[in-house]
Structure 1
Amino acid sequence: MALQGNLRDFSVPEIMQLLGSQKKTGCLSMEWNTERASIYLLEGQIVSTRSPGVTREDSLLAFLRKVHRLSEEQVLGLVAIQKESNRDAEELLLTGGYLDATELAEFIERLILDDLMRFVRWENGSYRFDPNQRWPHAPHVKLGLEPSLLEASRRVDEQKRFVSIFRDPYSLIAVRDLPGPKEAVSQAERDMFGTVDGQHTVEETVRMAPLSEYEAYEALQRMLEAKWIELAGRREPSEAGKPARAAKRDGPRRPVLWELVVLVAVVGILFAGRRAGLELAMAAPPSRQHDVFAAVQLRNLRAALELYRREKGAYPARLEDLVSGHWITPDQARVSGYVVLYLPVRRDASYRLELQTDR
């Protein structure tokens, strides 16, 4: 017999705790306004929060696209293959070589926790548990209900704190300082270092990050507490694409950091301009504004190189290693109008990083 009722009478955590304590197997379906949710259980453990099969709106594919693990073209390709084969997205991701089993399990777990964080806040709507509706495939993860609910509740509380810290989504966010040699840097924080550039607002930075919204805010909050990043001005919603307005300073700061903020502000003005060369030997000498743009790009590359060295113990053999390791995006490894020359110097554990005009 199916269990069903209204979420006003029993909360989502209460329903799930009941199912977990009885080690139930089946599917908990919930509806609230236009939203739908499915939580598949196997002997009281969560195995999935998505519907089997694959569609254009598949939550796993959407999550993989959000975290930059799949491109839009790859998602469309998977949907086309599914229409012909009627196979589930998880199977296609493995057999197609998009992910290995360990990676797939990691992404499914991240998706489940992201979904649970949303579901536990539902206060209205209906629910139905059907023991005959089971996950049709061998599960890649089995998450305990109790610890998963605790983590989801913790995230809800943390998100409230993020709202108070980043209460203005239009604040510009910039790198303030790099981590020290003995400071631990998580993968999420490395991902955010590749996104924070002083030219985008908090909202834009979170949207561009190869992380879920919660993961991005969590990393930014830790980085802000560690004084690696700072809020550096504000841009009105109507000023998209316009120069950044620098924040007022309460007192003197380290010269390098102040110059960095100035550079970023200037870049906002000059970004739409055509980039010229850096070298003095050019027939038509480059203007100061183009030097500023290239300097900021090089600064970002050097920051990524230092983070890589602190983590790996040596500089990478090629800049492409930073891209393949997700330290930077492919666009961040290029400077428009120039050839980036990178050469590690093994004998003294350093490197050369130069720009050569692409003409």
Structure 2
Amino acid sequence: MESRQKLTRGHAVLGRALTAVHLGQARTRSRLTAELGVTRATTGAVTAELAALGLISIDTRSGDPAATPGRPSHRLAIDPDGPVVLAVQVHVDGFRVAIVGLGGEVVATTAGRRYVPADPSDVLGAAVDTGNDLLRASGRRCAGAGLAVPSAVAEPDGTALNPLHVAWRAGAPVRAVFTEQIARAGLNAPCFVGNDVNLGALAEHRHGAGRGATHLLVIATGHRGVGGAFVVDGKLYTGSSGLSMEVGHLTVNPEGRPCHCGNRGCLDVEADPPALLEAAGRVPDPDVPLLRQAIDLLRDEHATDPLVRAAAHTVVDRLATGLAGLVNVLNPDRVVLGGLHRHLLDLDADRLTALVADRSLWGRGRGVPLMGSTLAHGSLVGAAELAWQPVLDDPLGVLG
């Protein structure tokens, strides 16, 4: 019994140490010693074990100016040849895949344009095959696989509850299908699935604009629709069964566009890329991703075309109404905007910030900061975080 308890404690210390390096909290051995609250000898043994597992590298040159003279503190970094995880994101225009290392590093990524039919195995099979090609080219070990989908995901079943923007049926068993496709590709990897915006929020909190926030609200657009997520004390708030934060179905314009949910004027259809294109009088090009068309329109014509500026103001107005209501209810200490919303914030941060402050009690009283997302592929990095979590919890048990 005593030896088993020691083993459990040892595994826990390894996990805490790897997590600290993964999150950028301990770039030297002396900092890691302080984070763990252990002796230097223990930290030395722990870092040697993580290096032996191929997870971190140790540079004996001092990387800490505060290190004790004569005792240079070794630098710690993610092993550039260590294991990776496969991350997949499905969206209305197809998919994107990546292989992601520890520290949230996207090692390689590529996209596939594809109609997403009712059978999830079609797009997931194509995505897994594409990801497997990336893995082979990298020559690195795959430690897990994560999937981000444009739907609330019911737990513990891993089913897509409301895939409104793709043809999957409600209740599609996306985790089971993903697991089947991973096995078909010959990958021995545990599989995880989550909502795309939830996973993007998790990634921003760990590696991006949400670092250090205690109550982080994230609102983002994909190619269609608007999603939201709430991270509290480092953990996603997902409600009783994984279905919380469906912010896209807040009514922001009662006389507005009909929504897929049966309501009218939801944030989902009033503040997404198609809404901007329609308000600007543009007909979407079926051969170009919708989000790319909307971003390019703002970049190329916002400064010169009054109709585009008016369309942007309309979308910002609807977005501000939704944000103000969410700020009143959730009282976040930071709001991060992703997708099209990040670009609208970049164009006119003063206007959006003023509108939210004017319409929200806590926004007026505390000036809740609005920030743009900083990760290029946040949902993929978040999907990777799901796959990395078992390794972070017990690196020796999973990889030893």
Larger-Rg structure? 1
- In the superposition, the TM-score normalised over structure 2's length comes to 0.22
Highest relative contact order (Cα 8 Å, sep 6+), 1 or 2? Answer: 2
